[in-house]
Amino acid sequence: MSNACGPSNTILCCKCAEEDGLKAAHLCSRHPDSEGEKSSTLVQKLKHYLYDESISGDSICLIQLEPEGNDVSLRCSLVVRPLNSDTSYTALSYTWGDPATIHTISCNGQRLLVGENLHSALLQFRRDGRTEPLWVDAVCINQKNNAEKTQQVRRMQQIYEIASLVVCWLGEEEKSDEEGFSRMRKLFAQCGEQSPQDFVNYSFNTVKQLGLPDLSSSQWGAMCRILYRPYFSRIWIFQEIIAATGCIIQCGTHTIDRTIVLTIGSIYERFHQVGGAIAANIPLPQPTEPETDFEDTVVLFSVQHLWAAKALFDFGKKAKICQLLMNTRVFEATEPRDRFYALIGLSSDVSSTFIDYDRPYAEVQVEIAKRCMMQPESWGPMIFSYVDQGHHSDSLPSWVPDWTPGGPIMLPLAGSYYPYKLEPLPQPNWQMRLNNQIALNGRLFDKIATVIHETPYTTPLPKLNKLNKFVNYCKKMEEWEDSCWELAMRLREYPTGEGIFEAYWRALIFNRQNLEEEPSQNFEWAYKSWNTAFSTGKDESLLELTSIIQQPGNNQDPSPATILEMIQRLSGLMYTGMQFIIAYGKLSFKFGLLNKLLSVAVPFENAFFRYAPGRKFCITKTGFMGWVPSTAQENDLFCFFDDCSLPFVLRRCEGGYKLIGDSYLHGLMNDPLIVLLEKKQDVVLL
C-alpha cells in the first residue's frame, strides 16, 4: 500500500481505498471531498467484479459467508438468486453506524469495505455457524445505481417477508445485556402479550402487585440500555421488523424473540408502574455525549409504535402514510427520501411504484401530500394538520407538511377534533393550480389579537441531575402561566357563557383529558396543583443539592447512568455528615410538597403536554382563548374549510394565503355555529 493507512491496518477510509482500487460500501466522513466524481469513478472502475450487471426484477443478490479458516479475515461471495419462497436466506436488519470507521473483507476474491457494525454482525454470524446466505442492503444493492436501487427497494417488504429469518442486529454485547434480556422475558411472562383491545383497561397496580422488581433493581436499567441502542432510531426497522415472518433481536451472542421486545412498548403504555420504572432508568448522557432535549423520545415512539403497527399489520390492515410519517417523525434516515420509501410497504394509500431515487426530495414531499389529498379518508385537515411552519422548508408549498426530522414534535389536532374514521370523510371541492397552489372553499371568521410568544414548555421537564435547569424551568413556567392568566382576565365575559376561569383552565389543555374525551370537573383541582408546583419548584434552595454534589472529596462518580441512580446518589450524600442535615431538612420538605403537588397534577400535566409543544397561547379579536402555531402572528386569520370542524391559521399574501397550521379555539371546536354567519369564499393556499 502506498497510502497513510499502512499495509497491516484493516481500518480504511474511502480516499485511501481509492488509491488502492478498493470498492467502498460506505463513504468516509473524513474525506467529504471524495464523495463526488472521484467516488463515482471508483465505483465504475470496480463495478465489473462486484456488480456485473443490474439485477433483474425477480432476483436478489445474496452474501455467502465462508467458514473461518487459518485466515481470520472475513471472506464471502456474492450470488444471485430468484426472489421467491424456494430461496432460503437470512435478512439482516441493522444500522450502518459511523461511516468514518471502515473494515475490509474479501468478496469474490476482491477487497470490499464495510462499516464497523456490519463487520461485527458478519463476524458473529460466522461464529454462530450460520451457513444460510445473507441479504444485506449495503452490499446486496448497488447503492450507486439508482435504477437498481429503486427496483430493489420497491421489493423490500417482499425481501423481508420471504426471508427464512430476519435478524435485528443491535451491535456488540455489553455486560448488562444478559440481565436486560432476562428482565424483558420475565416482564413478558408476568404481564402477558398485549392486544389493542387491552387498552380499554389501564393498570395502576404497584410493581409489587404485578410481581415486578423494585424501581432500584439493576434489571430495569439493563433493559433500558438495550432499548436505547441506536438501532431503535432507524427508519427502516419499521418495515423490516413488521414485515418479517420470523424475526429475532440479537445483541452479540444474546438473542430474543421480536414479540417480547415489541410487547414492552404496549406494557409501557398500559401498565403505569412499568412506565414509571422505565422513566426512572432512562440512560443519561455521559459528559462526552452531546445533550439533547429529545433524548427520551426515541424509545417512546420506537417500541410503542412498532408494536401498534405490527398489531395492525397482523390484522391484515395498513395505516395511512401520514399516520406512519407522524409516528416515525423522530427516526433517522441517511437518505432523506427513505423517510417515505421505508414506510410505503406498510401504507394503505401509496404503492411501491412511487419509489424512485431519481425524484428530488422536495418533489417526493409534494407528491405524497397530493396523493393524500386524493384519498377520501385523508383529505385537507388530515394533511394540513401536520403542517408546522416552525419546521418547514422554503422549497415546499405552505400546505405541504415537511417531514424532515428535527425540533419538538407538534401533535396534530386532527387526531382529537377530526379523528380517523372507518367511513370515508366528506370530500370538499378543491383544485390544484399552477406552482402547486391549491384552492378550497372556506370561511374566514376571526383574527389573532394577542399572542404569548414565550414557550418554556417546548423544552421537556429537565432531568433531576440538572437541578439548576429544573429550578429555572419552574420560574419560566410560572411567569408564562401568569402572562396567560393576565391575558385571559382582559375578557370581561366569554362568548360561550362559561366563566373565565373554567374556560381558561380548559383552554390550557385543549379541553381534552385524553385524545377524544373532555376533562371532568376534577381537572380543576389538578390545574391548581399544577400551577402551585411551579411556584414551589422555582425555590432556589433546591440548588443546594447541586452544591452538595459538587463538593470536593465526596468520592462520587459525577456521571450517573440513570435518573434513579442520580436520586439514590443524592440520598446517600445527604446522610454523609452533619453539614448536610440542615439542607436535608429543608429540601426534604420542599421535595415532599412538590411530590404531592405533582402527583395530583399529573393528569393535567399530561393533557397539557400532549398538544402545547409547538404552539402558543392567544386570544382572538372576538374574545376566544386558544392555541396557534409557534410562527403565528397578531392579525393572522382563522379559517374553517368546508366539512371540517378544525380551524386553521392563515396569513394573507400576494395572490392568496400561507397556511400557518391548525389551531384550537375554546368553544368553537365542536359547535362552530358563529362561523356559519360568515360568507363562504375561495381560499387559495400558496
Task: Say which residue, 297 or 233, is predicted with more confidence.
Answer: 233
Residue 348 inside a domain? The answer is: no
Which tens digit of pLDDT belongs to each residue from 247-274? Answer: 999 999 999 999 888 888 777 766 666 7
Q: Are 123 and 134 in contact (CB under 8 A)?
A: no
Q: How many helices (H) and strands (E) does the chain have?
A: 23, 19
Quote the CA–CA distance of 226 and 223 in Å, as a whole number.
5
Quote the CA–CA distance of 152 and 146 in Å, as a whole number.
10
The rounded Cα 21 to chain-centroid distance in angstroms is 40
Residue 556 — pLDDT band, cuts 50, 70, 90?
Answer: very low
Quote the CA–CA distance of 114 and 98 in Å, as a whole number.
11
Cα-Cα-Cα-Cα torsion 293, 296, 297, 301, nearest 10 degrees, comes to 180
Quote the CA–CA distance of 426 and 685 in Å, as a whole number.
20
Q: Answer with the one of 587, 612, 637 that is the final residue of a domain.
A: 612
pLDDT at 293: 44
What is each CA distance from 86 to 21, 81, 83, 155, in whole angstroms?
37, 10, 8, 17
pLDDT at 91: 94
Contacts of 663 (CB under 8 A, 6+ apart): 413, 626, 627, 628, 629, 632, 638, 647, 648, 649
Averaged pLDDT for residues 276-290: 59
Which tens digit of pLDDT belongs to each residue from 463-494? Answer: 555 667 777 888 888 899 999 999 999 998 99
Q: What is the mean pLDDT of the chain?
A: 77
Nearest to 388 by CA among 116, 124, 660, 74: 660
Which tens digit of pLDDT belongs to each residue from 82-130? Answer: 988 889 999 999 988 777 788 888 888 888 888 889 999 999 999 988 8
* Cell triple for 114: 464495510
pLDDT at 169: 95
Residue 653 inside a domain? The answer is: no
Residue 652 — pLDDT band, cuts 50, 70, 90?
Answer: very high
Residue 571 inside a domain? The answer is: yes
Task: Say which residue, 336 or 72, is predicted with more confidence.
Answer: 336
For the cut 80, the answer to whether the pLDDT of residue 59 exceeds it is yes
Amino acid at the residue 632: A
Q: Answer with the one of 577, 612, 647 that is the final residue of a domain.
A: 612
For the cut 60, the answer to whether the pLDDT of residue 289 exceeds it is no
Which tens digit of pLDDT belongs to each residue from 313-326? Answer: 777 778 888 888 87
pLDDT at 56: 66
Quote the CA–CA distance of 419 and 628 in Å, as a whole number.
19
- 326: phi > 0 → left, psi -120 to 50 → alpha, else beta; which? alpha
For the cut 80, the answer to whether the pLDDT of residue 417 exceeds it is no
Task: Say which residue, 275 or 669, is predicted with more confidence.
Answer: 669
pLDDT at 205: 59
Q: Are 93 and 240 in contact (CB under 8 A)?
A: yes
Q: Are 183 and 222 in contact (CB under 8 A)?
A: yes
What is each CA distance from 508 to 302, 350, 449, 531, 639, in whole angstroms?
28, 37, 17, 12, 21
Q: Are 176 and 221 in contact (CB under 8 A)?
A: yes
As beta bridge partners, residue 169 has 250
User: What SS3 state is found at 257?
Assistant: strand
Residue 58 inside a domain? The answer is: yes
Quote the CA–CA distance of 606 and 493 in Å, as a whole number.
28
Quote the CA–CA distance of 427 and 377 in Å, as a whole number.
8
Residue 3 — pLDDT band, cuts 50, 70, 90?
Answer: very low
For the cut 80, the answer to whether the pLDDT of residue 226 exceeds it is yes
Name the maximum alpha-carbon separation found in the chain.
Answer: 87
Q: How many domains does the chain have?
A: 2
Q: Answer with the one of 163, 189, 208 that is the final residue of a domain.
A: 163
Lowest mean pLDDT among 41-45, 558-562, 682-686: 41-45
Quote the CA–CA distance of 467 and 34 in Å, as a whole number.
46
Nearest to 26 by CA among 283, 334, 261: 334
Residue 294 — pLDDT band, cuts 50, 70, 90?
Answer: very low
Write down the residue that cell numbers 429555572 correspond to: 472
User: What SS3 state is found at 2?
Assistant: coil
| Structural domain boundaries, residue 575 | 456-612
Quote the CA–CA distance of 650 and 639 in Å, as a whole number.
7
Q: Are 32 and 52 in contact (CB under 8 A)?
A: no
What is each CA distance from 322 to 241, 348, 404, in whole angstroms?
20, 10, 13
Residue 666 inside a domain? The answer is: no
CB neighbourhood size of 7 (10 A): 8
Which tens digit of pLDDT belongs to each residue from 119-173? Answer: 999 999 999 888 899 999 888 888 778 888 888 888 989 999 999 999 999 999 8
Task: Say which residue, 509 or 301, is predicted with more confidence.
Answer: 509
Predicted structure pTM score:
0.77
**What angle, rounded to 10 degrees, do the helices at 563-574 and 218-227 form?**
150
* Cell triple for 277: 420504572
pLDDT at 406: 66
Residue 531 inside a domain? The answer is: yes
pLDDT at 383: 83
Which tens digit of pLDDT belongs to each residue from 499-553? Answer: 999 999 999 999 988 777 888 888 898 888 888 877 776 666 666 655 554 454 4
Quote the CA–CA distance of 605 and 527 in Å, as a whole number.
8
Q: Are 112 and 65 in contact (CB under 8 A)?
A: no
For the cut 70, the answer to whether the pLDDT of residue 461 exceeds it is no
For the cut 70, the answer to whether the pLDDT of residue 564 exceeds it is no
CB neighbourhood size of 218 (10 A): 17
As beta bridge partners, residue 440 has 430, 683
pLDDT at 292: 47
pLDDT at 605: 81
Amino acid at the residue 395: S
Residue 281 inside a domain? The answer is: no
Residue 443 inside a domain? The answer is: no
Write down the residue that cell numbers 370561511 correspond to: 443
Quote the CA–CA distance of 478 and 394 in Å, as a whole number.
35
